[in-house]
Structure 1
Amino acid sequence: MGGTTHENNKLSIAEKRLIGIESLQWCANNAVYFLGLIGAATYDLAGTAFLVAAITLVRNLATSIGNVAAGSVIDSIGPRKTTVAVCAFSAVTSLLIGLGPITEASLIIAAAALGVSGGFINTCTHAYPGYLIATLTGRQRLNGLMVFYSNIAFTLGPIFGGALVSTFSTQSVYLFMAATMAAAGVLALGCHEVLQPEREEDAKMGILSGMVDGARMTLQNHDLRLIFISGFLGFFAFGAFDSLESLFYRDVLEVDVVWLGWLSSVVGFTSSIGAWLLTKLPDRMANLTLLLGSLFGVGLASMIYVGTDILAVAIVGQSINGLAWGFLEPLQMILVQEKAPIAYLGRIMGFVRFGLMSAGVLPLLAAPALAEAFGVQAVLFAASCIIALVGAVFFFGQVKRARSRAAQSE
C-alpha cells in the first residue's frame, strides 16, 4: 500500500489517475456541449431558442438520470468498474455520432446518450475521493487538485473544439471525444479503490430504491440537507442560461460561435485558480460558510457577465464567475464526502448531483417564452439576480448561525 501514502504531499498513483480521468472527461464533454450540441444547434442548424432549449432539456434530464442511477451502481460494484464501463460507452457512442450528419434528431440522440453517460461519470468522479483517502486534509487537496487540473482541461476542451470546428466539420468534436474518453477508460482500469465499505449482500440496490436511500440519508443530515437545498435553489436559475446563453452571444454580444468556447475557457482558467487557492486554505475553512459565500459570488459575477452588451465586461464577469466556481464545486464534493457514510456515498452523491442537475428544468422550459416577451438579456440578468439572492440568504444565515454557536461556546 505504499502508493496510497501522502508523505511529502505526494499524490498516490490512484489519485493521479483520478485527476487524469476527471480532466479528460471534462475536456471532452465541454468541447461537445458548447460546440457539438449548443453551437451546432445555434449555428449549423440556425436554431431558435426553442430548439436549443429542447436539446438542453433532453441533456439535462438524461444527465440527472445518469447522476442518480450511478449512485446504486457505485455502491454495488465500486467506482472503478463503473467508470471503466461508462468511459467505454461514451467512446463508442461519440464515435458513432461523429460519423453521422448533424441534424435535429442526431443532436437530440447525442444529448440523451451523452447526457446519461456524463451524469454517470460525474457522480463517479465526485464520489471517488471518498474511496481513496480517509482524511479531510487529503480530500481537500485531492478535490481541489481535481478541479484545478480538470478546469485547465475544461479550458482546453473548447479551444481544441473551436480549432477543430474552424478547420473541419462540427462532427470532429465528437471524434475528439471518442479518443479522449477511450484514454480515460484506460486510466480507470488501474485506479483501484483503497477504502472499501461493508456491503450488505441482501441490500436492494435498484435505481429507485437507491434514490430513496440517497434522499433519506441526505435530508436527515443537517449539513447535507443545507448543501442540497441551497444548491438546488441556486442552480434553479441556471436553467435559463442553458437555453439562452448561446443566443446571448449571437444576438446581444454579436460575436461568432468561437466566443462560446473562448469565454468558457476564461471560466475554466479562473476556476483553476480558485481551486488551487482552496488547497492552500486551512482545513477549518473548508466549511458551509465558504461554500454558500461562493454561491453568492457566482450570482454577483453572473450579473456582471450578462449585464451589458460589451464583450470586455462579459469577460470580466466570467473571470470572477470562474474564480467563485473554483471554490464552490470542490467544496460541495469535500463536504458530501465528509458527511456521507462510505457505504452510502454513491447514493448520496448521486441524489445531490441529481438535485443540482434537475433544478434547472423548469426555468429551461420557461426561458424561451420569457425571452420572446422580455428579451434574452433581461431574462439572463433576472436569473443571475435570483442566484445572488439565494446565495446571500443562505450565506448570511450561515454566518449568523456560526456566530451564535461561537457565542454559546464562550
Structure 2
Amino acid sequence: MNTRSRGPAFLILFAALMAGAGNGISMIAFPWLVLQRNGSAVEASVVAMAGTLPLLVSTVIAGAAVDYIGRRRVSMISDLLSALSVAAVPVVALIFGADAVNVAVLAALAALGAAFDPAGMTARETMLPEAAKRAGWTLDHANSVYEAVFNLAYIVGPGIGGMLIATLGGIETMWVTAAAFGCSIAAVSLLKLEGTGKPDRSALPDRVWAGVVEGLKFVWNLKVLRTLAFIDLAATGLYMPMEAVLFPKYFTDRNEPAQLGWVLMALSIGGLIGALSYAVLAKFVKRRTTMLIAVITLGVAMTIIAFLPPLPVILSLSAVVGFVYGPIQPIYNYVMQTNAPQHLRGRVVGVMGSLAYAAGPLGLLLAGPLADAAGLQATFLALSVPMLLLGLVAIGLPSLRDLDRDRQP
C-alpha cells in the first residue's frame, strides 16, 4: 500500500512550471528575432506557423508514445530535445554569426521545438490522477493546481523573456530557455510513482498506428469529447494569431518588448487566478456554464482590443480573458481523465491536443498577410467576430451538458 505523499505531485508541478517557462520565453524570443530584422508580420507568421504545424501530428504521436514507452521516460526525452532545439539558436549564431539566424533557421528550430513539446505536456498530464491519489487530492483540485502552475509559467516566462531581450538580446535569451527545460528533466528524473514507468503492453495493440486509431475512435465516438475538440479547434485558430502575431507586431512597431511581455503576463495572471479558483468554483457553477462564459467573454474582449485602446485597457482585458479561461483546461483534463481508461489516457490526451492545434496554422497563415495588407484593427475584428458567434453556437449544443456528469478515473 502506498503511503500518502505530495512529493510526486510537487515534482510534476515543478516540471510543468520549468517547461512552461521555457516555452513562455520562446513565445517572446522567436517572433522578436524575426520582427527586429524587418518588421514583417508575414515572416513572423511563417515562424509562428512553423511552431504550430508540427503540433497537429506530433501531439497524436506523443499520446501514443506516452502509452507505449512510458510517461516518465517520454517527459524527460521530450524536454531534452526541446532544450537542444532552442540552444541551437545561440550555437548557430556563435559558429556562423548572428546573420545566420535568419527566418528559415528560426522557422526550422521553432518547428523542431514544437514537435517535441506535446510529448512532455501529455506525459505530465497523464500522471496527474495517480499523483493526486497519492497526495490525497481530488482530481478537480489536482487539475486546478496544475493549470494554475502552467499559467504561472507563462507569467514567469514572457516576463523574463521581455526583460532578457531588452538586456541580453533575443539570441542569448535562448540559453535561459534551454536551462528551464533542463530543470524540468531533473525534477522528473526524481519522480517515483505508479503507472509512470514501463507500460503493460498486453493492453495495447501491437502496432503503434493501430493504437493511434484506437485513440481517435474513442474521442470521435464520445460526443462530449468530440464537441470539446471542435470548440477548442475553432477557439485556438481564432485566438492564436492574436497572441503569436498581432500583439508582437503591435509592440514591435512601437519598439516595446517589455510591454509585450506585460500583456502576455496579464493573460497568464488572469489564467493563474482563474485556474486556482476552479476547485472552489466547481462547487457552485456548472462546468458547462463556466465554459460558455469563457468563450463569449473572449469574443467580447478581442472585439474591444481590436480598436487598439491604451495599454492599461489591453492589460485589463487580457487579465479578464485569462481569468475566465483559467478553468477551461482543468475541465478538459477532468473529462479526458474520467472518461478514458488508463491504457488509453495518453492517446486520448494526444488526440484532443492535436485537434485543438489543427486550426492554428490556418489562422496564422491568414493573419500575417491580412495584418500587413489591412492593418491590425481589421485583423483583430476578423478574428473576434467569429469568436462571438462560436460562443452563441455553443449555447445550443446538447452534448456539452455531459460536462456536468461526475465520474471517477
Pairwise TM-score range, normalised by the shorter structure:
0.7 to 0.9
Relative to 1, partners in 2 of residues 1:133 and 1:401: Cα closer, same or farther, differing over 3 Å?
A: closer
Greater displacement, 235-244 / 191-200: 191-200
Q: Deviations over 1:150-176 (max 9, x none)?
A: 222211112212222222121222100
> Cα gap change, 1:165/1:368 in structure 2, threshold over 3 Å: closer, same or farther?
closer
Is 1:63 matched with 2:55? yes
CA distance in 2, matches of 1:280, 1:236: 30
Whether contact under 8 Å (1:289, 1:398) holds in the other structure is no
Higher mean displacement: 156-165 or 315-324: 156-165
CA 1:324/1:195 → structure 2, altered by over 3 Å: closer, same or farther?
same
Partner residue in 2 for 1:302 = 302
| Counterpart-to-counterpart distance in 1, 2:252 and 2:294 | 29
Alpha-carbon distance change, 371 to 161 in structure 1, aligned in 2, over 3 angstroms: closer
Quick check: 1:228 aligned with 2:229? Answer: yes
| Contact 1:75 1:346 survives alignment (8 Å) | yes
Cα offsets for 1:248-287 (capped at 9, x unmatched)? 3345xx4512211111011111111101110223458563
CA contact (8 A) 2:227 2:400 kept: no
Q: TM-score, normalised by structure 1?
A: 0.88
Kindly state the Cα deviation for residue 124 of structure 1 after the two structures are TM-superposed.
2.1
Q: 1:212 to 1:325 in 2, by over 3 A?
A: same
Task: State the shift of 1:87 in Å.
Answer: 1.6
Task: Report the Cα distance in structure 1 between the residues aligned to 2:321 and 2:75, rounded to whole angstroms.
Answer: 29
- Count residues in correspondence: 392
Does 2:316 align with 1:316?
Answer: yes
Structure 1 residue 390 and structure 2 residue 390: aligned? Answer: yes
* Closer/same/farther in 2, CA of residues 56 and 335 from structure 1, 3 Å limit: same
Amino acid at match of 1:310: P
Which residue does 2:251 correspond to in 1? 249
Match of 1:408 in 2: none
Closer/same/farther in 2, CA of residues 293 and 200 from structure 1, 3 Å limit = farther
TM-score, with normalisation over the residues of structure 2? 0.88
Which deviates more from structure 2 when the two are superposed, residues 328-337 or residues 280-289? Answer: 280-289
Q: How does 1:178-257 map to 2 (within 5 A)?
A: 178-195=178-195, 199-200=201-202, 203-206=205-208, 208-241=209-242, 242-251=244-253, 254=254, 256-257=256-257
CA distance in 2, matches of 1:167, 1:401: 50
Secondary structure, counterpart of 1:315 in structure 2: helix
Q: Share of identical aligned residues, percent?
A: 21
Contact 1:162–1:258, Cα closer than 8 Å, also in 2: yes
Report if the CA contact (8 A) 2:15-2:187 is conserved.
yes
Q: Which residue of 1 is the match for residue 119 of structure 2?
A: 120
Range moving further from structure 2, 92-101 or 381-390: 92-101
Alpha-carbon distance in 1 for matches of 2:357, 2:145: 23
The question of whether the paired residues in 2 share the 8 Å contact of 1:66 and 1:116 is answered with yes
Alpha-carbon distance between aligned partners in 2 of 1:71 and 1:278, rounded to the nearest angstrom: 26
Matches within 5 A, 1:81-230: 81-101=73-93, 102-133=101-132, 138-195=138-195, 199-200=201-202, 203-206=205-208, 208-230=209-231
**Separation (CA, whole Å) in 2 of partners of 1:205 and 1:183:** 34
- State how far apart, in whole Å, the 1-side matches of 2:71 and 2:204 are: 20
Structure 1 portions without partners, runs of 5+: 6-10, 406-410
Distance change >3 Å, CA 320–CA 273, structure 1 → 2:
same
Q: Retained in 2: the 8 A contact 1:230–1:391?
A: no
Return the letter of the residue paired with 1:15. A
Shift of 1:25: 0.8
Number of the residue aligned with 1:8: none
Q: How far apart, in 2, do the equivalents of 1:352 and 1:59 lie?
A: 18
Tell me how far apart the structure 1 counterparts of residues 362 and 220 of structure 2 sit (CA, whole Å): 22
For residues 8-28 of structure 1, what are the alpha-carbon distances to aligned partners after superposition, in whole Å with 9 as ceiling and x for unaligned?
xxx621111111111111111
Question: Partner residue of 1:362?
Answer: 362
Give distance in 2, aligned partners of 1:126 and 1:381: 34
Gaps of 5+ in 2: 94-100
Cα separation, partners in 2 of 1:384 and 1:134, compared to 1, 3 Å = farther
Answering whether residue 17 of structure 2 is matched by residue 16 of structure 1, we say no
Report if aligned partners of 2:298, 2:321 keep a CA contact under 8 Å in 1. yes
Bigger drift between 20-29 and 383-392 goes to: 383-392
Cα offsets for 1:222-267 (capped at 9, x unmatched):
211121121112222124323333223345xx45122111110111
Aligned residue number for residue 67 of structure 2:
75
